[in-house]
Amino acid sequence: MTDIVPLENFVNGAWVRSTGPDHLDVPDPSDGSVIARVPRSGAADVDLAVRAARAAFRRWKEVPVAERARRVLALRNLLEAHADELARTVVRENGKTLDEARGSVRRGIEATEFAASAPTTLQGSFLEDVSPGVDSTLLRQPVGVVAGITPFNFPVMIPLWMAPLAVVCGNAFLLKPSERVPLSARLLATWFEEAGFPPGVFNLLHGDAAAVDAILAHPGIDAVSFVGSAPTARHIYTTAAAHGKRVQALAGAKNHLIVMPDADLDRSVPAILSSAFGQAGERCLAASVIVAVEPGGDRLVERLATEVSRLPTGPAGRPDTVVGPVIRPDHRERVLRWIRDGETAGAKVVARGPEPPAGPGFYVPPVLFDHVRPEMPIAQEEVFGPVLSVIRVGSLDEGLDVANRSRFGNAAAIFTRDGRAAREFVHRIEAGMVGVNIGVPAPAAYFPFVGWKGSFYGDLHATGRDAIEFYTRKKVVTTRWF
């Protein structure tokens, strides 16, 4: 394994070795074999990248927006041409199935396409005669150097939520991908280069918390886009803000799906299963709690249990696998502990998936809990694994109360045939991304990705017009001609 060469950072248009103290091994979650070694970049590496980005920014912001958008389109075409290679890299380093990986790459390409519409989305506004003979113009200008810090669960899509939009707005960008999935980010850097972005406009810096802390403290970084777990998001938000930076921090989740007694189970059950167990539950939009409104609970649990007991867990690359591995052995241990704690607290396991093939992969067969109570930790904390809890309630009101007591507010959904119940749910649910008969209510790239409550720290969200606002500063010019 030691013959695997450590990955390099991409700084100022060149691949450079990190000066960091050591490296971390990157295992393939499906079989535990080491597939890469990632450097732990430190403050000196961050400084080098930020200096390059600052110098590039001064020239890049003067490039006309149509020309910047053309580079983004060239990037989009390279992503499209290499979509399969990207998806297979995601399968290998993250452990998603190929279908899931392809879907996530597609979402990243869509975000890149949205970025290419900057000549329209960057337009400002003008108002004539704010006083006699005086006009006002609102312009949008880039913020400067933006750092993107991303999680392991979407190695392509989340960097592409950020980088194309940031650079098309005229910023220089520094990506610090998750140290657990560095290979997709390396591919992205090669295509940023090939698409013709000038050196220093896009930079890639590998590393872990030490690199992040150096980014947060560096005076040459103007804004930080972060996606990751809730404790890290709080740390990023408070530290970046204390250093005077603009910051958006997308955090963890605990998503509730309310299933009404009139729900169409033939169509709802597959949507629920895919939301809860797709990507082995490692999705910020994954269903984690089913709120079953009586008298539909028994019928629903019976259907879910039958399906869960035959969901195959296995290596991500195998075509018959539905539930791939989780990311690391320590994460598997954490998920297994949640399952044991749930049982100890009195929740009842009503179905488990078949045992995965014996071997070194990081597998957790899916688990369905019934009779979970809202106060149990398993009903409140993010598990981020293939575990689904059912809470039974007597009415939609009670279900809304259970969901709204969560300290998270990323996503929620209702399954029903009743338009009035759906409308009531949409109006009263305290979550930002809401589904009606949709298990994973992910907004398209031209809408913002809007977590609420403990699922988001900041004001302007990722993607959509919010992202344009986040990556630009407004300037209002008041003009009078004598």
The answer to whether 177 touches 167, Cβ cutoff 8 Å, is: no
451 near ligand NAD (CB under 6 A): yes
Catalytic residue among 52, 87, 260, 284: 284
Positive or negative torsion for Cα 103, 150, 160, 382: positive
- Cβ atoms 431, 452 nearer than 8 A: yes
**Which span sits near ligand NAD by CB under 6 A: 102-110, 205-213, 288-296, 438-446?**
205-213
Kindly tell me which of 225 and 416 has the beta carbon lying closer to ligand NAD: 225
| Cβ-based burial of 303 (10 A; exposed 0-12, middle 13-18, buried ≥19) | middle
* Integer CA distances (angstroms), 106 to 100, 319, 466, in order: 10, 19, 21
Answer whether the bond into residue 365 is a cis peptide, omega within 30°: no
| Cβ-based neighbours of 196, under 8 Å, separated by 6 or more | 71, 74
Q: For residues 441 and 411, is the Cβ–Cβ distance under 8 A? A: yes
Span from 14-22, 150-158, 296-304, 395-403 in contact with ligand NAD (CB under 6 A): 150-158
CB atoms within 10 A of CB 447: 15
Please report whether residue 440 would count as binding ligand NAD according to CB under 6 A: no
155 within 8 A of 185, measured Cβ to Cβ: yes
**Binding segment toward ligand NAD, per CB under 6 A, in 32-40, 131-139, 226-234, 368-376:** 226-234
248 DSSP β-pair partners: 225
Q: Is 284 among the catalytic positions?
A: yes
* Contacting range for ligand NAD; rule: CB under 6 A; set: 132-140, 225-233, 255-263, 474-482: 225-233
By CB under 6 A, residue 193 contacts ligand NAD: no
Member of 227, 300, 301, 316 binding ligand NAD (CB under 6 A)? 227
Our finding on whether 208 is near ligand NAD (CB under 6 A) is: yes
Among 247, 162, 174, 227, residue whose Cα is nearest residue 205: 174
Position among 97, 406, 455, 472 found at the interface with ligand NAD (CB under 6 A): 455
Contact status: 152 vs ligand NAD (CB under 6 A):
yes
Using rule CB under 6 A, residue 464 touches ligand NAD: no
Binder of ligand NAD out of 212, 289, 396, 414 (CB under 6 A): 212
Q: Where are the alpha helices (DSSP H) in 278-387?
A: 297-308, 329-344, 377-380
Binding mask 355-394 for ligand NAD (x = CB under 6 A): ---------------------------x-x----------
As measured in angstroms, the least distance from the Cβ of 324 to ligand NAD is 15
Smallest separation (angstroms) from ligand NAD to the CB of 303: 27
The residues assigned a catalytic role are: 284
Interface residues toward ligand NAD, by CB under 6 A: 149-154, 176, 178-179, 208-209, 212-213, 227-229, 232, 235, 250-253, 284, 382, 384, 410, 449, 451, 455
